Chains A and B, each alone.
Chain A
Amino acid sequence: ETGVTQSPTHLIKTRGQQVTLRCSSQSGHNTVSWYQQALGQGPQFIFQYYREEENGRGNFPPRFSGLQFPNYSSELNVNALELDDSALYLCASSLAPTTQYFGPGTRLTVL
């Protein structure tokens, strides 16, 4: 167990809807990174938050946005959901942008 938690575990949405995914980082960790993992692929970096500031972003459109709170927990928001957004969303926690430990993930299905 890494101490990183995510909610919800599973989620089903319809195309065009909005979704918010949540992550609580491991105690003592101040950095949260979000990844999208499509079936059969490796995780793709969405963005990272370090001490409440965005600290790097991958090749994802602006409808993917995030927040980090003072307690270092984080949210990932996705607007105008598309079918291709169906994936496992992973949150990774670390102390500064170093070795990252993953939470259990949220499985998002867009119909």
Chain B
Amino acid sequence: QKEVEQNSGPLSVPEGAIASLNCTYSDRGSQSFFWYRQYSGKSPELIMSIYSNGDKEDGRFTAQLNKASQYVSLLIRDSQPSDSATYLCAANAGGTSYGKLTFGQGTILTVHP
């Protein structure tokens, strides 16, 4: 069983729509969660971090965390073609694994005009 799982997609949405990206994790000790965006041939770029249950908003992005369900999501409002990329979900475990990020395999998002 993978520790962090994402729908690999691809997810295709029209410009201006809401894109919804989902992630589940298996380690209940995970304490913090991150969404990274990765353009083809580039390195991951941090979009959002979330540590507490509930929603966290930053501009067009909203991260949602539900620790009871071991579920993290990222909503992108008013999607733009420039949002087309691979989105990586990562969990940071606690205890002796603190500092290690465990990534999902990524979800490919395409926003078409």
A interface residues (Cβ-Cβ under 8 A, vs B): 2, 31, 33, 35, 40-45, 48, 50, 55-56, 58, 88, 90, 92, 94, 97-105
Contacts and interface: CB of A to CB of B under 8 A. Distances in A.
29 contacts: A2-B45, A33-B99, A33-B100, A41-B105, A42-B4, A42-B90, A42-B105, A43-B88, A43-B103, A44-B103, A45-B100, A45-B101, A48-B100, A50-B99, A55-B99, A56-B99, A58-B100, A88-B43, A92-B101, A94-B99, A97-B98, A99-B34, A100-B34, A100-B101, A102-B43, A102-B45, A103-B43, A104-B42, A104-B43
Nearest to A43: B103
Given A42-B104, A102-B43, A104-B43, A48 B88 contact: no
Contacts of B88: 42-43
Interface residues of B, number: 24
Interface of B: 4, 32, 34, 36, 42-46, 49, 88, 90, 92, 96-106
A99 B102 contact: no
A90 B99 contact: no
Given A33-B99, A33-B101, A56-B97, A42 B43 contact: no
Closest 9 CB pairs of A and B: A97-B99, A42-B103, A102-B43, A105-B43, A45-B100, A48-B99, A102-B44, A42-B105, A43-B103
